Structure 1
Amino acid sequence: MTRHLLRDDDLTPQEQAEILTLAAELKTDRWKVQPLAGPQTVAVIFDKSSTRTRVSFAVGIADLGGSPLIISTANSQLGGKETPADTARVLERQVAAIVWRTYAQAGLEEMAAGTRVPVINALSDDFHPCQILADLLTIQEHKGELKGLTLAFFGDGRTNMGQSYVLGGVTAGMHVRVASPVEYAPREDVVADADRRAAQTGGSVALYTDPNEAAAGADIIVTDTWVSMGKEDEKLQRLRDLTPYKVSQELMSLAKDDAIFIHCLPADRGYEVDAEVIDGPQSVVWDEAENRLHAQKALLVWLLQQQ
């Protein structure tokens, strides 16, 4: 059966751990496996601009012996004359996998339904599972065992990153705290799904409106941009609403002494995080950015093995 990664809980806890283990191995030996040798082609489709996703998938596919085919929807029929399902039917006869950075989660679900090759969510409005795998790999490198760690996220909990931390974090057995205004909390159905997964792993999800309470004793402090792509017209309102959730050195001081700071980038220094934090000794954002490469390679290898 063809497997896809459309949201973080598409992976079981055991499967997530297998991918992270493989990612660590591939980081040590980048050319250990080359399942795409031939080279086979992977379609990498972009509705949104990108730096880390574009580079890490292109380099990773090449590392695996394959050829990345970068497609911009602005220069294709996808989203215009052609449906995601029809595009998938065309691509699946020519490529080994499809990676799509898009807006609506529904488009990814339509593309994956009945498709014979793996479809990977490289970012949607709802979830960002590839980034979470990279973040978990980074946390694992710096903290060892993931299970039982407390991760505190600050800002817009309803963004793709907030919701993926909730699902992916509890899948790893972590205790995930989301600090945000009530109207920016993760969707109720996502929290309910995370609670069900947490019952299997011993993890937990907790929602806070007080950022100081959320930071207290945390192992990992996380934030994301307050103005995601497509939300630019809401910038002033978001700055007003989310300013109390800025990650400052004062907030970091409430976490454990050895807490680390992560951010998926790009960052708006002075808005969601102060420069002294993201550029400081507790920040591991550059390890995190590199780990997109290793985590996505492991994901591709694992998905291709399920074929």
Structure 2
Amino acid sequence: MKLPSATATDLNKPGLRHFLKTQDFTKQELTEILDLMTLLKQARKDNAVPQLFKGKSVAMIFEQPSTRTRVSFETAATILGGHALFLSPKDIHLGGKENIADTSRVLSRMVDIMMARVDDHKTVADLAEHATVPVINGLCDWLHPTQMMADIFTMMEHLPAGKDLSDLSVAFVGDATNVASELMFICTKFGMDYKHIGPAKYQVPQKWIDIAEENCSLSGGTLTITEDTNAVEGCDILVADSFYWFGQEAEKDDRLATFIPEYVVDQRLMDKAGPNTMFMHCLPANDERETTREVMDGDNSLIFDEAENRLTAQMALLVYFTHKHTKPADDAIAADHDAIIGDFLTKL
């Protein structure tokens, strides 16, 4: 007798969506996630988080290590009453002995949602293409959407008096990283004044600019791409990131020589921006390269609030992308199963 797929992994979920990039979502949908983050963070503060992930599991696929991504997802699942599975390249056959499509189909039969932190965007896109559960992009070479939900939420928590998100001026200083791309997309979607400040050789590609300019045409935001660090003047927030990443080790010397010292977010640059300018960095940060310990530990630094809000973001994402597919247990049916299975076990 073949039984249907279990309720938790129903293969025909209505309205199934994945979180591969913030650009796939409207401003209203992103605002809903931010509002849910607010509710869950307050509930966590009161030690009263509803068990909205009870009985559920998230498979966490890691091709790249991460302190914040792993700890935040595992902790979020636990706080919400569920379970997280850490899957490194040593634990599964992703794209090796087993192709990505088959891995995705198998995991979809066993877990309620997947998160993948991968080297190449195609990997997480292929997982989503073949999945029957939601897939979250935990980072790829192009994008970092979970980080961006934490970043925008942190900006909301520290808005200057009298300003809304759309009034903010945000400058990213440095390389065209996956944080720079997501920050550009979401800031322009929310109508902010966004600047990428960096040497021409490492500025954002035209395809990113096209996306951001389309956002600006709808939101009223503005986009500036410049080499001139004087453009930080008057900005509400300066954002920094690494000058090189996995796969760029061969470029290390050239990159550091190009970025340092002009594009290091040090106290000199913070002072140029203004006395109330806040500093953000996704971490880990090298305080001898892209920023300084003085800035990281300064009164205007938000980096540890930002890091904590990775947990806030992951709680909201796990709930937002699974709650529509939750089928509450029928008390009578649950009692029947309890009796039937209990009776069976007594006879063993």
Compute the TM-score of the two structures, normalised by the length of structure 1.
0.95
Percent sequence identity over aligned pairs: 40
Q: Give the secondary-structure state (helix, strand or coil) at the position aligned to 2:17.
A: coil
Q: Deviations over 1:184-206 (max 9, x none)?
A: 11221122112112222222221
2:145 aligned with 1:145, yes or no? no
Question: Who is 1:154 aligned against?
Answer: 173
How far is the alpha carbon of 1:268 from its aligned partner?
0.5
2:24: which partner in 1? 10
Q: Deviations over 1:222-265 (max 9, x none)?
A: 00011212222221111011112110111111223211100000
Q: 2:281, 2:317 → 1: CA distance?
A: 21
Please state how far the C-alpha of 1:16 moved relative to its aligned partner. Answer: 0.9
**Equivalences for 1:248-287 in 2 at 5 Å?**
248-287=266-305
Who is 2:151 aligned against? 135
Q: Which residue of 2 aligns with 1:100?
A: 116
Q: Which amino acid aligns with 2:175?
A: D
- The aligned amino acid for 1:92 is S
CA deviation after TM superposition for structure 1 residue 33, in Å: 3.1
1:111 is the counterpart of 2:127 = yes
CA contact (8 A) 1:43 1:97 kept: yes
After superposition, the Cα gap between the structure-2 partners of 1:130 and 1:36, relative to the gap in structure 1 and judged at 3 Å, is same
In structure 2, C-alpha distance between the alignment counterparts of 1:276 and 1:293, rounded to whole Å: 26
Q: Secondary structure at the match of 1:245?
A: coil
On the 8 A contact 2:115/2:137 being kept in 1, the answer is yes
2:86 maps to 1:67:
no
The residue that corresponds to 2:255 in the other structure is 238
| Matched AA of 1:24 | T
Q: CA deviation at 1:164?
A: 0.9
Match among 75, 79, 86 for residue 102 of structure 2: 86
The one-letter code matched in structure 1 to 2:286 is D
- 1:81 to partner: Cα distance: 1.8
Cα displacement string for residues 146-184 of structure 1 (whole angstroms, at most 9, x for unaligned residues) = 112011001102x10111111121122221100111221
Aligned 8 A contact 1:58 1:68 in 2: yes
Determine the C-alpha separation between the residues in 2 that align with 1:199 and 1:24.
29
Amino acid across the alignment from 2:223? V
Q: 2:320 aligns with which of 299, 302, 305?
A: 302
In structure 2, distance between residues paired with 1:89 and 1:249 = 50
1:43 CA displacement = 0.1
Letter in 1 for 2:169: T
Inter-partner Cα distance in structure 2 for 1:293 and 1:206 = 31
The number of equivalent residue pairs is 304
Give the letter for the 1:86 counterpart.
Answer: D
Q: Retained in 1: the 8 A contact 2:148–2:182?
A: yes
Q: Which amino acid aligns with 2:83?
A: S
Q: Is 1:37 aligned with 2:54? A: yes
| Aligned-residue offset at 1:21 | 1.2
* TM-score w.r.t. length of structure 2: 0.84
Highest CA radius of gyration, 1 or 2? 2
**1:306 Cα deviation after fit:** 4.6
Q: Confirm or deny: 8 A CA contact 2:235 2:274 kept in the other structure.
A: yes
Structure 2 SS opposite 1:86: helix
- Give distance in 1, aligned partners of 2:79 and 2:317: 13
Contact 1:17–1:172 at 8 Å: present in 2 too?
no
